[in-house]
Structure 1
Amino acid sequence: MSKAYVFTRFGGPEVEAFVDQQPPEPGPGQLLVAVRAAGVNPVDWKLRAGKRRPGSPPAEFPEVLGSEVAGVVEAVGAGVEGFAVGDAVFGNPDTGGYAEHTLLPASLAAHKPARLTFAEAAALPVAVATAYDGVRQLDLPAGATLLITGVGGGVGVAAAQLARHFGIRVVGTASAGKKDFVESLGAVHVPPGPDLADRVRAAAPGGRVDAVFDLVGGEDLVAAASLLPAAERRGKLITAAAKETVADLGGAAVARARTSEVLEAVARLAEDGVLRPQVTATYPLERAGEALRAVEDGHARGKVVIEVGA
């Protein structure tokens, strides 16, 4: 049997539970992976709460939590090329990540670089890939200034590192307790809260920003949008947190590529030291609920990862 951490219906933490289940069988185009590490993301608790993307298939309870993993291939489905039993891989699973086994579509998988730990690789498919897609979407020149709201979380940390690598100046909002951490990324720290736009102008070089990468939504997104002329927002105001709100403000959601090519690209950047996954907390599978609470409560710094196997 294989242990997994699931939610049994839509709701809060009270609907989460451990279950024992048979390891799934890989279908065409899939890999059966023995999970070594699973990244924890805000999307995990949002899905548990019933916040599903339009057009998503209906939930089949119990549903395993988790949307990014790293592990070792145990079986290969029909039609899969480029992967073999024993390969260390990472990617976005079809059947959840907080588990001892999962199914990984080969089209959303990549080989784990030898220099990265499984925990580091598990931080790449959602948070780092989202940051990569977003920074590429903004397409800012060197010397431009980017505001990242919620820079202290997994996506924000990666986005700040990528932007700095491309010569982009970064101003980031995060709680006062994350100030030193944010500044270690080469970003100018601004605490969130009232009069955010004025405080960003005071902190930004030249008193202006050229683009906004939002990871928070709400009032901070509205304040950040006011820093950009309305005519520029479609290309320079993006969010990974509040798609409907950003559309009303004239911006756009992060356009996710979700391909093996993107995973391979971020893996190379991590292996070369351009990106540091910044795994700041790890939990065993037996404490998966605590790991999710750390992210759901909004106080996590960097990336939280669940370590599953040896």
Structure 2
Amino acid sequence: MPKAYVFTRYGGPETEALIDVDRPVPGPGELLVSVRAAGVNPVDWKLRAGYRRPGDTGERTFPAVLGNEVAGVVRDTGDGVEGFAVGDEVLGSPVAGGYAEYALLPAGGLVAHKPAALSFTDAATLPVAGATAYDGIEQLGLEAGATVLVTGAGGGVGVAAVQIARAFGLRVVGLASEGKKDLVESLGAVHVPSGPGWTARVPGPVDGVYDLVGGDVLEEAAGLLGGRTELVTAGALAEAMERLGGSRVARVRTSARLETVARLAADGALDPHVTRTYPLDRAGEALRAVEQGHARGKIVIEVGA
């Protein structure tokens, strides 16, 4: 039987397990994908801990497969699928988890053909991290030559956001730990070390902020802006943003958006900076690295060949 890495109830790492599961059967409008790689993101452990996305009112069925972005090969299609066929190489956000040998993707949702020049490992970082980065930078709407501050610039979304902002012609200031200084500067950003008093270390005014941290960092970053419409976050709840006058990143979950991000990666304008990979039977270690905040760039689970 196929294997999947799941959580059996809400809680900590003790709820996780690698188990045998039935091979999924694609329903109408769905693709069955043989997973080659799955990206690891903070939202994965947050969902395991009980976090609910805004608007999510459904009850989760356990065991629940972890993971929100994959790349792989189409093995079967459900009724009504157009634009995808068996054998196509694709990337996307699965219907119900991606740390698995097989996953279902919605053909009409956030799924796209994988460019031949893009590896499965890199492609698996784009549906969540890469696309979220693109959505936020575009939402800010800054003109070329403007300065954007990216908080959490050394993480998976941050690394992508810095590069996408650069591709948009923006000057980038990246807030990250001292240990990620070389990484942030290698992306073409001005590094500002995080920690108490960090705002005083920001060189010159900023025109917009893309926050990936939330909390006190978001509050302090907002104080650098004269207007709040140039403040976007993927790291805080909507209530906090209403008070600050900014907004949460509005995700554009379409094939066209994911294709745009994939082209940037295939053309070399976006390097996901996958710093470590793990096999599926070590998925727990991969998730721990992200959950404990030790990851530089992206971590990916490589599932099959």
With the shorter chain as reference, the TM-score category is over 0.9
Query: Which residue of structure 2 lines up, in the alignment, with residue 155 of structure 1?
Result: 157
Aligned match for 1:226, one of 220, 223, 226: 223
* In structure 2, distance between residues paired with 1:3 and 1:185: 37
Q: State TM-score, norm by structure 1.
A: 0.96
Query: Which residue of structure 2 lines up, in the alignment, with residue 185 of structure 1?
Result: 187
Is structure 2 residue 292 aligned with structure 1 residue 291?
no
Q: Which runs of 5+ in 1 are unaligned?
A: none
Query: Which residue of structure 2 lines up, in the alignment, with residue 172 of structure 1?
Result: 174
Deviations 1:154-197 (A, max 9, x none): 11111111111122111111111110110000011111121122
Is structure 2 residue 281 aligned with structure 1 residue 282?
no
Find the residue that maps to 1:61 and give its secondary structure. coil
Give the drift of 1:54: 3.5
Query: How does 1:73-112 map onto structure 2 within 5 Å?
Result: 73-107=74-108, 108-112=110-114
Structure 1: which amino acid aligns with 2:117? R
Find the residue that maps to 1:155 and give its secondary structure. helix
Give the drift of 1:251: 0.9
Query: Which residue of structure 2 lines up, in the alignment, with residue 236 of structure 1?
Result: 230
Deviations 1:9-43 (A, max 9, x none): 11111111111011110000000001000000000
Find the residue that maps to 1:58 and give its secondary structure. coil
Aligned match for 2:243, one of 230, 244, 248: 248
Identity of aligned residues (%): 70
* In structure 2, distance between residues paired with 1:284 and 1:247: 41
Query: Which residue of structure 1 lines up, in the alignment, with residue 47 of structure 2?
Result: 47
Query: How does 1:2-21 map onto structure 2 within 5 Å?
Result: 2-21=2-21
* In structure 1, distance between residues paired with 2:223 and 2:54: 28
* In structure 2, distance between residues paired with 1:53 and 1:183: 33
Structure 1: which amino acid aligns with 2:40? V
Query: Which residue of structure 2 lines up, in the alignment, with residue 72 of structure 1?
Result: 73
Structure 2: which amino acid aligns with 1:109? V
* In structure 1, distance between residues paired with 2:219 and 2:93: 31
Aligned match for 1:145, one of 131, 140, 147: 147
Q: State TM-score, norm by structure 2.
A: 0.97
Give the drift of 1:215: 0.3
* In structure 2, distance between residues paired with 1:79 and 1:158: 34
Query: Which residue of structure 2 lines up, in the alignment, with residue 304 of structure 1?
Result: 299
* In structure 1, distance between residues paired with 2:212 and 2:180: 15
Deviations 1:255-309 (A, max 9, x none): 1011111111111111111111211110000100000011111121111100000
In terms of mean alpha carbon deviation, does 55-64 or 209-218 score higher? 55-64
In terms of mean alpha carbon deviation, does 244-253 or 23-32 score higher? 244-253
* In structure 2, distance between residues paired with 1:268 and 1:242: 29
The answer to whether the 8 Å contact 1:91/1:125 transfers is yes
* In structure 1, distance between residues paired with 2:100 and 2:135: 27
The answer to whether the 8 Å contact 1:196/1:220 transfers is no
Q: CA RMSD in A?
A: 0.9
Structure 1: which amino acid aligns with 2:230? K
Find the residue that maps to 2:68 and give its secondary structure. coil
The answer to whether the 8 Å contact 1:92/1:109 transfers is yes
* In structure 2, distance between residues paired with 1:192 and 1:306: 29
Structure 2: which amino acid aligns with 1:187? A
* In structure 2, distance between residues paired with 1:298 and 1:280: 14
Find the residue that maps to 1:11 and give its secondary structure. coil
* In structure 2, distance between residues paired with 1:31 and 1:178: 38
